[in-house]
Amino acid sequence: MLSRKTILSFFILFFITSTAFAGGPFVKGELLVQQTVKATKANVDKAMKDNGCDILEDLPQIRVKRIRVPEKNFDKVKAALAKNPNFTFVEENFIAQGMIIPNDPSFYSQWHHTKIMSPSAWELGIGSTAIPIAVIDSGVDPDHPDLVAKLQPGFNFLANNNDTHDVLGHGTAVAGSAGAISNNATGVAGVAWANPIMPLVVLDSSNWATYTNISNAIIYAVNNGAKVVNISIGGSSFSYTLDNAINYAWNNGVLVFASAANYNTSTPYYPAACSNAVAVAATDSADNKASFSNYGDWITITAPGVSILTTNNGGGYGYWSGTSFSSPITAGLAALIWSANPQLSHQQILEILKNSADDLGATGLDSIFGHGRVNAYSAMMEIMNYQPVVDSEAPSVTTTSPADNETIADTISISATANDNVAVEKVEFRINGTLLATDTSAPFAATWNTSEATSGYYTIEVKAFDSSGNSSPADSVQVIIEEIIEVIEVIDNLPPMVTILSPSNGSTLTDKTTVTASAADENGVAEMKIYVDGVLKTTKTADSIIWRWNTRKLSSGTYEIRVEAKDSAGNIG
């Protein structure tokens, strides 16, 4: 019967900058933030401290952090972080659900293999250990006779250890659909006979998984050699974090297959509806849309998903229905055909799956069946006769930061965008012709510590390469590193030196006496003054001064002549 557990979801029909689309359930008191390429650790730490947040987990490959937020200030903190220029997006840590639909075991055993012509495909190939399949789910029964010999080490993101026992039963059924041991006189057959299974546990015993655990599992699968990833889990909320993880897989040549969900609605479910995921809907034995299967223009392809006989947790077998099983059947087929020609790219494998599918419903691509229902034999025939188009088109690349002729200092981020008709394999960053760094996934960026460089002009060159060996012309910008001059402030507290040139000390004055004086100061004399018995007689803005003094009417006696000089710092001597 159909599962009665549903996800409440709301969809907003407009885009809000720096925030995720509103959606379904999420982990209370947690947010996911992606820091910008230029954001420094100090700025991020300050934002966390200012808002009372703690960093719980880091996903460095996609620059995302899972943070704890004070629940009483949740909305306020989310809004504040969304406005912070150090973050690209801020969103809830949404929860996804396993797409389980147990059904009555009254159908023919493994009818789906006949429908997609698996036996004919197996005449041409049975898979290869070189193309592992990662199953992101509830774990896999490690002792099941139809799986035990195919399991390779995985990881449990719930317990943060290597125990990948199945906590729900769903993952074992999914794994068997993709690649149960075959031709062993035991149980059932999987689509991909020889391909290893990498179990990654994210789905708990209540059938729920967080988007961060799913994203972490995708990254783990990519970094540990999986070429095909299956995710029979879905949530109603779009997530930038999940989308970035899917893009990370795609940019590293890995195909991610995801179930379209079982709500008979056109509402997108994620990660299936992410732009670089393969969304798999379900068909029944008559090649009709499965009654429960989701649909829409985001569907990529379909596969059998009703009463699929597969492996059960605990060593047995059972019938299962849902897009949870159409997805691993398709993922297993991708691994099967890729094994026949491992030199092909992930884009080429996906195109072969689409082109070889049996067209159902409206002619061509449609919103019910996507490109059609998979056909294993047709796909194998196409790959055996595949003549790859020679890719002679070079990628393009543009440096986005820093700007041309920009003056730079300290540690800077160099960023670029690159595009190719097939795929960008890597982007190289060079400084004056010397390789600084290589980045193999978008967003392409490198870090340069300019404090180690001397002052002058530098040329930053960015070049993109594709998997066919084509390279773009180098895009270059010139930047300036200025000489850092240490300015030491010298405090001038020395007064000018004053010399009275005439009259001499103790001399007798005539009727007319000329008073002359000069002053010297290393920073210059600003002003000089002459006083007689404390009375100012004349002022001059120079380093010398002359005053003609008429003494005829003065009574006899002794008079004091004093000369002052002031420098530019205000010192008086």
Residue 455 has pLDDT above 70, yes or no: yes
Q: Read off the pLDDT of each residue in 155-179 and give the average, rounded to a whole number.
A: 97
- What pLDDT does residue 550 have? 85
Tell me phi and psi for residue 564, to 5 degrees. -115, 145
Residue 21 pLDDT exceeds 60: no
Residue 512, classified by CB atoms within 10 Å of its CB into exposed (0-12), middle (13-18) or buried (19+), is: exposed
- Write the DSSP symbol of residue 474: P
For residue 106, what pLDDT is reported? Answer: 29
Is the pLDDT higher at 556 or at 201?
A: 201
Band of the pLDDT at 392, cuts 50, 70, 90?
confident
- Comparing 299-303, 319-323, 385-389, 493-497, the range with the smallest average pLDDT is 385-389
Percent of the chain beyond pLDDT 90? 63
Mean pLDDT for all residues in the chain: 88
Residue positions annotated with a catalytic role = 137, 170, 324
Q: What is the pLDDT of residue 389?
A: 66
The pLDDT of residue 486? 61
Distances (CA, A) of 231 to 171, 211, 315: 10, 12, 22
**294 half-sphere exposure, CB direction, 13 A CA radius:** 28
In sequence order, the 6+-apart residues with CB closer than 8 A to the CB of 343 are none
The predicted-structure confidence for 202-220, as pLDDT tens digits, reads as follows 999 999 999 999 999 999 9
pLDDT digits (tens, 9 = 90+) for 507-527: 887 778 888 988 898 888 889
Among left, alpha and beta (phi > 0; psi -120 to 50; other), residue 429 is beta
Question: What band does 123 get if pLDDT is binned at 50, 70 and 90?
Answer: confident
Q: What structural domains does the chain harbor? A: 26-95 (3.30.70.80), 97-384 (3.40.50.200), 396-481 (2.60.40.10), 497-567 (2.60.40.10)
Contacts of 24 (CB under 8 A, 6+ apart): 7, 8, 9, 10, 94, 95, 235, 236, 237
- The whole-number pLDDT of residue 143 equals 96
Q: Residue 144 gets which letter from DSSP? A: -
Contacts of 321 (CB under 8 A, 6+ apart): 101, 102, 103, 282, 290, 292, 305, 306, 307, 308
394 close to 463: Cβ distance less than 8 angstroms: no
pLDDT of residue 274: 94
The model carries a pTM of: 0.64
Confidence band for 23, pLDDT divided at 50, 70 and 90: low
* For range 174-195, the mean pLDDT: 91
Quick count: other Cβ atoms within 10 Å of Cβ 25? 17
Q: Quick one: tokens of 218?
A: 């995708």
Instruction: Kindly report, residue by residue over 457-491, the tens digit of the pLDDT.
Output: 999 999 999 878 899 999 999 999 887 666 666 77
Can you tell me whether residue 61 is helix, strand or coil?
helix
pLDDT tens digits for 254-267?
999 999 999 999 99
User: Residue for token digits 């006949």?
Assistant: 114
Q: Which residues contact 16 (CB under 8 A, 6 or more apart)?
A: none
What pLDDT was estimated at residue 13?
19
